Amino acid sequence: MSAGGGGLGTAARREVSPSRLREGLAGNPARAIALAFLLVIGLGTLVLMLPAASADGSGAPPMTALFTAVSAVCVTGLVVVDTATYWSGFGQAVILALIQIGGLGILTGTSLAFLLLTRRLGFRGRLMTGAERQQTDQGQLRQVLLVAVGVTAAAEAVAWISITLRLLLDGYSLAGATWRGLFHSVSAFNNAGFALWSDNMIGFRTDAWMLTTIAVATIAGGLGVPVWQDLRRVGRRWSRYSLHSRITLGGTVVLLVIGFVAIAAVEWNNSGTLGAEGTGDRVLGAFFASVQPRTAGFNAMDYGEARVETLLVTQTLMLIGGGSASTAGGLKVGTFVVLMLVVWAEARGRDEVVAFGRSIPAVVLRRAFAIGFLALVAVSLGTLVIAATSTFEPEEAFFESVSAFATVGLSTGLTPELNTAGRLTCIVLMFAGRVGLVTVALALAFRERERRFTHPEGRPLIG
Residue 460 lies in a domain: no
| Averaged pLDDT, 259-268 | 96
- AA identity, residue 201: M
Look at residue 278 and tell me if it is in a domain.
yes
Angle at 431 between CA 425 and CA 437, to 5 degrees: 115
Most confident of 236-245, 309-318, 451-460: 309-318
361 domain residue, yes or no: yes
**CA–CA dist 325, 437 (Å, integer):** 11
Return the CA Rg of the chain: 23
Q: Which pLDDT belongs to residue 121? A: 42
Question: What does DSSP assign to residue 201?
Answer: T
> Is residue 461 predicted with pLDDT exceeding 80?
no
Sign of CA dihedral 256, 259, 265, 269: negative
Measured N-to-C along each axis, helices 141-169 and 174-189 cross at an angle, to the nearest 10 degrees, of 140
Looking at the predicted structure, is the pLDDT value of residue 45 above 60?
yes
DSSP 240: G
Instruction: Identify the pLDDT of residue 459.
Output: 66
What whole-number distance in Å separates Cα of residue 291 and Cα of residue 277?
19
**Residue 197 backbone class (left: φ over 0; alpha: ψ -120 to 50; beta: rest):** beta
pLDDT tens for 185-220 read: 999 999 999 999 999 999 999 999 999 999 999 999
What is the mean pLDDT of the segment spanning 265-284?
95
pLDDT for 124 equals 43
- Across the range 421-434, mean pLDDT stands at 94
Each as own residue / partner, the long-range contacts of residues 125-132 (CB below 8 Å, 24 or more positions apart, any chain) are: 132/242, 132/243, 132/358
Q: What is the mean pLDDT of residues 383-407?
A: 94
Q: Is the pLDDT of residue 28 over 90?
A: no
Which of residues 38 and 29 earns the better pLDDT score? 38
Residues 268 and 285: their CA atoms lie apart, in Å, by: 10
Residue 246 · residue 254 · CB < 8 Å: no
What's the pLDDT score for residue 324?
85
Q: Answer whether residue 343 is part of any domain.
A: yes
| pLDDT of 437 | 73
> Cα–Cα distance between 333 and 295 in angstroms, integer?
11
Residue 33's contacts (CB-CB under 8 Å, 6 or more residues apart) are 105, 109, 110, 113, 435, 438, 439, 442
Task: For 107-156, write each residue's pLDDT tens digit.
Answer: 776 666 656 555 544 434 443 334 334 343 444 667 777 888 899 999 99
Cβ 285 vs Cβ 201: under 8 Å: no
Three-class DSSP category at 359: strand
Nearest to 113 by CA among 191, 53, 18, 28: 28
Residue 209: the pLDDT is: 97
Which pLDDT band, with edges at 50, 70 and 90, does 341 fall under? very high
pLDDT at 289 over 90: yes
The whole-number pLDDT of residue 113 equals 62
Supply the angle between the helices 29-48 and 2-27 in degrees, to the nearest 10. 100
Q: pLDDT category, 8, cuts 50, 70, 90?
A: very low
Alpha-carbon distance values, 218 to 76, 214, 438 (Å): 13, 6, 20
pLDDT at 235 over 70: yes
Q: Which of 229, 223, 284, 224 is nearest to 255 (CA)?
A: 223
| pLDDT value at 256 more than 90 | yes
pLDDT value, residue 288: 97
In degrees, to the nearest 5, what angle opens at C-alpha 398 toward C-alphas 392 and 404? 110
Indicate whether 11 belongs to any domain.
no
Residue percentage of the chain with pLDDT more than 70: 82
pLDDT at 7 over 60: no
Confidence class of residue 462 from pLDDT cuts 50, 70 and 90? low
**Given this model, what pLDDT does residue 418 score?**
93
In a domain, 432, yes or no: yes
Closest CA to 194 of 75, 291, 310: 75
| C-alpha span between 121 and 369 (Å, rounded) | 21
Quick one: pLDDT band at residue 21, thresholds 50, 70, 90?
very low
Residue 87 bridge partners (DSSP): 54
Mean pLDDT of 221-228: 90
What is the domain range of residue 136? 21-446
The pLDDT of residue 32 is 74
Q: Is residue 13 in some structural domain?
A: no
CA 262/CA 407 separation, integer angstroms: 22
Least confident of 23-27, 317-321, 441-445: 23-27
Beta carbons of 184 and 195 less than 8 angstroms apart: yes
More confident residue, 128 or 438: 438
Q: Compute the average pLDDT of residues 323-335.
A: 89
**Listed residue (83, 87, 67, 289) closest to 198, CA to CA:** 83
- Whether residue 292 lies inside any domain: the answer is yes
Domain count, the chain: 1
Q: Is it the case that residue 11 has pLDDT exceeding 50?
A: no
pLDDT, tens only, 443-452: 666 555 556 6
- List the one residue out of 356, 409, 428, 374 whose CA is nearest residue 80: 409
